[in-house]
Amino acid sequence: MSLKKEQRRFLLARRKALSEQYRKEASERICRHVAKSDAWQKADTVFAYCPVGEEVDLTALWERALGQGRRIAFPRCVNGEMVFLQVQSLSELVPDAYGIPAPKAFAQEVLPTLDTLCIVPALSVDEKGYRMGYGGGYYDRFLAKHETLFTLCAVYAQMQVGDVCREECDRRVKAFVNENGVCLL
């Protein structure tokens, strides 16, 4: 087993061991930190994600964005590539082929602008901005095409590591947020 796969397996087990209470409270605090951030304040469009399993749950933030009239889009995989599709309501999200809530395939694609904030899920992130995802490379391929996009990785503080095992194709995020605050890189 590769070192990266071993680290991913370890991190999955570590996150699963976090208490539900910790995850809930940390997610609420992370939502507050994002909402106060400059990136959130200036964003006209938010590229969001639906939490799966024990991921940081930012659903309250997505509801806030919709309530403020911001454009919000969620990822959907199309022919092996990730695109972001706009929703008007979280009720428009349906399970995709992987069981992850995603917009319906006919929803409008949204391309990033200079004022788009992309909030990225992860198992872990290190102090250089490299994240550990789930091994599909979807976000890395998307970010490689949109290098000017402002990316903010949401992760629990207890999941941060000194160094994430990475490969040449892995892309850094520009900032990360945990329950202690936002860290610009």
Three-state DSSP class for residue 41: helix
* Residue 141 main-chain phi, psi, to 5 deg: -65, -40
Task: Give tens-digit pLDDT for 49-100.
Answer: 999 989 999 999 999 999 999 999 999 998 889 999 999 999 999 998 888 9
Domain range 3-184, CATH class: alpha beta
Supply angle C-alpha 132, 143, 183, rounded to 5.
60
Q: Rounded to whole angstroms, how far apart are CA atoms 15 and 37?
A: 25
Please report the pLDDT score of residue 98 as a whole number.
83
Please report the pLDDT score of residue 1 as a whole number.
60
pLDDT band of residue 185 (cuts 50, 70, 90) is confident
Task: Give tens-digit pLDDT for 146-184.
Answer: 999 999 999 999 999 999 888 888 899 999 999 999 999
Total-model pTM: 0.94
Residue-range domain boundaries for the chain: 3-184
CB 62 within 8 A of CB 90: yes
CB 73 within 8 A of CB 85: yes
